[in-house]
Structure formats: structure tokens, C-alpha cells
Amino acid sequence: MNAKILETENLTVTFDGFQALNQLNFSMDVGELRVVIGPNGAGKTTFLDVITGKVQPTKGRVLFKGKNLRFLKEHQIARLGIGRKFQTPRIYLNLTPRENLELASNRNKNVFLTLFGHPSNAEKNSIKGLLETIGLRNKADIPAGLLSHGEKQRLEIGMLVAQSPDLLLVDEPVAGLTDEETYNVGELLLALAQNHSILVIEHDMEFVRQIARKVTVLHQGSVLCEGSIEEVQNDPRVIEVYLGQPQDS
């Protein structure tokens, strides 16, 4: 049996009597790339919020590599090895992609040291490799503000990887991207999945088909079903909850 990177047990989150998560039981293996989908309001963002400690569970628990995250603060959970990429890029637009990655790769350093300090050779090599992986080698030294939306998304995924988390949480990485940019982000996640555990939340079904191995469908705060993309797409329960639901909002 594979070791589990993430498990939730009867995870329940209640906001003013409304159950955003309802007895959610979930688990993923070390090294897995998992995609979580679900109609609007299914609880996907709340699920990530509770894993990262932004929201505390009302009931149940989250285990990261077997450790109960209850009562830990967001920064403590991040330090344990859970990194999150939000929907909107949060990069320094005046710095170059290389500088953004250097900053992310050593969070003990401040911006001043990153700009004027001397990164070690090992650090430089890993930044170089990362720039290659995210497809920004040719744009490594221009201000990040000049990058396209898709390039900014890839840079931020690179910044997440630079922090070396054990688990990457990626929230709707292709919202607002062109088809080509979406494809490129998908290829990047597939490349990273070779040596990372990644949990992706996404609405865009074309993108889900490109990257998904195992898909979890959330509905009303619980797991509705799990399986390959073909299995979940043909599941009558999934068809029913998606009927009449816009899938791209």
C-alpha cells in the first residue's frame, strides 16, 4: 500500500449553520496528481482553505503525512511542506522571473539580498533548471510585468516548486487562459507530477482531460465519486449534478 500524503476524515466545515464541507473523506498517495472537480459551491475552495489552515474544521480532521493539522496556523502548515498557488498570480511584477524564483527559493532572504546578494552555484543551477521547466528561459531577465497571463501562471507555479513543498495545491490554474496557454500549464503540471504530489482544483474539463489520472468529484461538501476521467464523466450522478450547471465559471 502506498503512503498517504493527505487524508481527511469526516471533515466538516460549517459557516453560520451552512455545511460547506460535509463529512468529507478523502485520501491521496505520495507522488499522486489528483484533480478535484465539482459544480459551483461544491466546497472546493473551502477544502483547500481547511487543508492550509485558513479555515478550521468544525468536525473531523486533516492528516498530512499522517500528522494531524488541527490547531496549526497557516504558516506552520506551510512550513510542514504544503504550498498553495492561488488563482490570481502573486508575483513581483518589477522583478524578473529569475529574481522571483530566487526570492521564492530562499524565503530567509529578503528582496534586497536577492537582488544584490550572490546566490550559490547550486541555487543558480536549480533556478536555471526551473526556468527551463516552466518554459521561461528566454524571458528570465525581463520584468515579470511584461509576461503574458499564462507565463505569469507558469512563473507562479515555478515559485511554488522553488519552495520545495511536499504537496502542491493548485487552485484553478487555467482560469482566463487561452487554449494554448492552458495546454502549456497542463504540460508543466504533468512534468512536475513526475516527482511531486499535486492536488489541482479545476473547472475546465478540456484541461482536466489533459492532465487527470484520478478525479474526485465534490458535491455539497462530500465526495460524490472518484475514478478516471471517463468513469466520472459517465457516472449518472455526476451528469445529474452538472446538468444545467455552467462548467466554466
Ligand X SMILES: Nc1ncnc2c1ncn2[C@@H]1O[C@H](COP(=O)(O)OP(=O)(O)OP(=O)(O)O)[C@@H](O)[C@H]1O
- Residues in contact with ligand X by the rule CB under 6 A: 15-16, 18, 20, 38, 40-46
Return the number of the residue (53 or 158) whose C-beta is nearest ligand X.
53
Return the number of the residue (2 or 247) whose C-beta is nearest ligand X.
247
The distance of closest approach from Cβ of residue 39 to ligand X in the complex, given in angstroms and rounded to an integer, is 7
The distance of closest approach from Cβ of residue 22 to ligand X in the complex, given in angstroms and rounded to an integer, is 10
The distance of closest approach from Cβ of residue 162 to ligand X in the complex, given in angstroms and rounded to an integer, is 26
* DSSP assignment string, the chain: -PPEEEEEEEEEEEETTEEEEEEEEEEEETT-EEEEE-STTSSHHHHHHHHTTSS--SEEEEEETTEE-TT--HHHHHHHTEEEE-SS----TTS-HHHHHHHHH-TTS-HHHHHHS---HHHHHHHHHHHHHTT-GGGTTS-GGGS-HHHHHHHHHHHHHHT--SEEEEE-TTTT--HHHHHHHHHHHHHHTTSSEEEEE---HHHHHHH-SEEEEEETTEEEEEE-HHHHHT-HHHHHHHTT--S--
Q: What is the length of the chain? A: 249
Taking Cα atoms as reference points, which of 4, 15, 16, 23 lies closest to residue 61?
Answer: 23
* Residue 227 φ then ψ, to 5°: 160, -165
The distance of closest approach from Cβ of residue 136 to ligand X in the complex, given in angstroms and rounded to an integer, is 28
Return the number of the residue (28 or 42) whose C-beta is nearest ligand X.
42
Return the number of the residue (45 or 58) whose C-beta is nearest ligand X.
45
Return the number of the residue (2 or 40) whose C-beta is nearest ligand X.
40
Per the listing, cell 487527470 goes with 212
The distance of closest approach from Cβ of residue 166 to ligand X in the complex, given in angstroms and rounded to an integer, is 24
Return the number of the residue (46 or 126) whose C-beta is nearest ligand X.
46
Return the number of the residue (15 or 120) whose C-beta is nearest ligand X.
15
